[in-house]
A and B are shown apart, each in its own frame.
Chain A
Amino acid sequence: MNSGGWLSLSMRLSAALAIGLVVGLIFGVPWAGVATVLAIALGLQLLHLLRVLRWLQADQTELAPEQPGPWGHLIAMIVRLYRRKQFHKQRLLRLLRELRRSTAAMPDGVVVLNPQAEILWFNRTAARLLGFRGKTDFGLRIENLVRQPEFVRYLRGSQYATPVIVRSSVGTEQHLSLQIVPYGAGQLLVLVRDVTREARLEAMRKDFVANASHELRSPLTVISGYLETLAQDTEVDPALAGPLQEMRRQAQRMTSIVQDLIELSRLESSDSDAVGQPIDVVALMAQLRQDVLARPQHPAQVLVRADSHAMLLGEDIQIHSAFSNLVENAAKYTPPNGSVQIRWWTDDRGGHFSVTDTGIGIASEHIPRLTERFYRVDAGRSRATGGSGLGLAIVKHVLQRHGAQLSIESEEGQGSKFTCDFPRERLQIPVKEAVV
């Protein structure tokens, strides 16, 4: 058809030109004949062009005019293009509608925000969970309606990796998990999930641990008291001295486990950040050294190195318990001829407290799991040393509440290094040092 259109047109044109030339020759004005034919041909083409333009302007593709030659071809191509576009548009629309319908039916709430955090769209579940209302809430900033301080802080920050859990503000005991997912050009997707059940279970677990350890404490005190008396009683059969000693040791271990559990559940129960009282880390380190040296078995060398006099802002009891857990661990797993070094220094990133030992070290596969409760690298040995298995879990929780992180480097047989990295906001630099 393509070549056909052109062929017939050019053939017709050349025939018309030949006739024009012959007629012109007959009258003695050959060029006038050719010019007349060309003028007629041009007029015809312009007429066709005009028709096509009219048709396009009318925007009615169905009523395509019948045109001969290349013009008909052109019209057919336009019609085809238009139909194809229509078809794609329909398909996209259908797809979009399907997508909207499926997101609307999702069990999780979905809210779409523009870069200014204004609400563009939300599904039914989100409306139900967050109390949004139909069309009136489009264009409002999400933080104006979801006003929980935790969420506002989460939205303004940029740490969207983990969701934030907020309590529903309307009296009910509902807990919502909100996660922001950035996508496209600064757009944000907010996923909302009702986590009331999970939150309740978690609360029950915490309550149980707290209550159980409290309840266990008083009978344990009684048992330890009687064992103490029995051990000092001279009338007791000497053959029982060994078992009695063992019972006392085990009772002591149990007491320390219960105490650690209580401390852990106390740390867990308050999720707010620790308040900041200035703590003199240098003095604390000296005290920790004294404590280690007071142990019946301790490493030969306990070095303290204070490279900074900066104060740490935190809760002193908690920080003390975290640091002493680290130091005691190091002392426990270091042979008498080894050494333990405690160091405190500051740099641009913040303050760092590290405990380095030349002890038995930890195999790398255990390191990621060390801070789990009751995780033991070598069950037999750590029980012999009398640990509760909760020390590092406590350290982790204390550091979390202070916005700090624990990093562990270790090589089996060579020793380990535990470092606590505190952010700058947690430091109080003495005036002297700041000037220098």
Chain B
Amino acid sequence: MQAADISHHTSKRFNEDLERVRSKVLAMGGFVEDQLSRSLMSLVDADSSLGREVARDDYKVNGMEVSIDEDCSRILATRSPAAGDLRMIVATIKTITDLERIGDECEKIGLIAARLATIERPADRYREVKHLGRTVQVLVHDTLDAFARLDADAALRTCRQDRVVDEEYEAIQRQCITFMMEDPRTIRRALDVMWVVRSLERIGDHAKNICEYVIYMVHGKDVRHTSLDHIERELAERAVRRS
């Protein structure tokens, strides 16, 4: 199933509309990726002005969501799409909601980073958080790539990556608790760090949701709330049947 499938249409305008919506979703995704990387940069480099800038720019993400939402409603109303096109519109509407939430989490990270920049950084300069952040960045990037390529296999692989994020989140949480017990003066900072990693973990979950929409869009199968192994088995069976 490739991009060519949705670009075969009797109405050229319809095609262009769908393509434009897709590009807009991915442009929004690109902006959210940028927000994520800048918010992490502001934390690691203790750059409070950058953190505030990220928080201030969140309104742009919201604006993009509203605009894409309108486009989708218009397509639904005027073109009454069916089958794959309908799935694409439905998946898009859900995807932008998750992207917007990722934007909100970035805003939170930016604000906390701006606050953390005013107090002393720990000796390891948030190495663990940085590592988790990188994992989440790759996750979001791969998710959007899967969306762009309509690649359900990649989406499934990316879904599995979310488990790594959850594990790292647990580890940092335990580490923070240890810090707080050792030295109560670090509680303030440790609590803020906990908020940051919590946001990162949530971003991972939202990325996973988007991957599920990609699978739905390509295969027409709702895979929410089912185990990954189950999905994989079912998709493999379909492939056999089709061939």
Contact = CB atoms under 8 A, between A and B. Distances in A.
B26 A143 contact: yes
Contacts of B29: 147
Interface residues of A, number: 20
A241 B3 CA distance: 83
Given A152-B27, A171-B137, A171-B138, A145 B53 contact: no
B37 A169 contact: yes
A167 B2 CA distance: 28
Interface stretch (B109-117, B144-152, B162-170, B231-239): B144-152
B192 interface: no
B157 interface: no
Interface string A167-190: 101110000000000000000000
B27 A147 contact: yes
For the residues of A in contact with B, the DSSP-based class is loop
Given A144-B22, A152-B27, A169-B34, 6 more contacts: A136-B151, A143-B23, A147-B30, A147-B33, A149-B27, A169-B37
B219 interface: no
Contacts of A170: 137-138, 141
A147 B134 CA distance: 17
A133 B151 CA distance: 12
Interface in A138-164: 139-141, 143-145, 147-149, 152
A272 B53 contact: yes
A353 to B, nearest CB: 27
A230 B35 CA distance: 54
A149 B64 CA distance: 13
Interface string A309-331: 00000000000000000000000
Contacts of A136: 2, 149, 151
A131 interface: yes
A171 B34 CA distance: 11
A137 interface: yes
Contacts of A167: 37
Nearest to B135: A171
Given A131-B145, A169-B141, A171-B138, A144 B23 contact: yes
A289 to B, nearest CB: 33
Contacts of A272: 53
Interface pairs A-B: 5 shortest CB-CB: A147-B30, A171-B134, A144-B148, A144-B26, A171-B137
23 contacts: A136-B151, A137-B149, A139-B2, A139-B3, A139-B4, A140-B3, A141-B19, A143-B27, A143-B30, A144-B26, A144-B148, A147-B26, A147-B29, A149-B30, A167-B37, A169-B37, A169-B137, A170-B137, A170-B138, A170-B141, A171-B37, A171-B133, A171-B134
A136 B29 CA distance: 21
Interface of B: 2-4, 19, 22-23, 26-27, 29-31, 33-34, 37, 49, 53, 133-134, 137-138, 141, 144-145, 148-149, 151
A309 B2 CA distance: 57
Contacts of B134: 171
Contacts of B30: 143, 147-149, 152, 169
A265 to B, nearest CB: 14
A152 B34 CA distance: 12
Contacts of B31: 149
Nearest to B29: A147
Nearest to A117: B23
A306 B29 CA distance: 46
A33 B163 CA distance: 101
A231 to B, nearest CB: 39
Contacts of B53: 272
Contacts of B138: 170-171
A149 B34 contact: yes
Nearest to A166: B34
A167 B34 CA distance: 9
A117 B94 CA distance: 27
B143 to A, nearest CB: 12
Nearest to B137: A171
A179 to B, nearest CB: 19
Contacts of B148: 140, 144-145
Nearest to A137: B149
A409 to B, nearest CB: 37
A220 to B, nearest CB: 25
Q: Which of B23, B30, B141 has the most CB of A within 10 A?
A: B30
B28 to A, nearest CB: 9
Nearest to A151: B30
A148 B33 CA distance: 8
A147 B149 CA distance: 13
Interface string A17-51: 00000000000000000000000000000000000
Nearest to A131: B145
Given A169-B137, A170-B138, A171-B134, A145 B145 contact: yes
B144 A147 contact: yes
Contacts of A139: 2-4
Contacts of A131: 145
Nearest to A153: B27
A228 B42 CA distance: 41
Nearest to B16: A116
Given A136-B2, A140-B148, A272-B53, A148 B137 contact: no
Contacts of B49: 270
Nearest to B40: A171
A198 B49 CA distance: 25
A136 B2 CA distance: 8
Q: Which of A136, A144, A270 has the most CB of B within 10 A?
A: A144
Interface string A189-209: 000000000000000000000
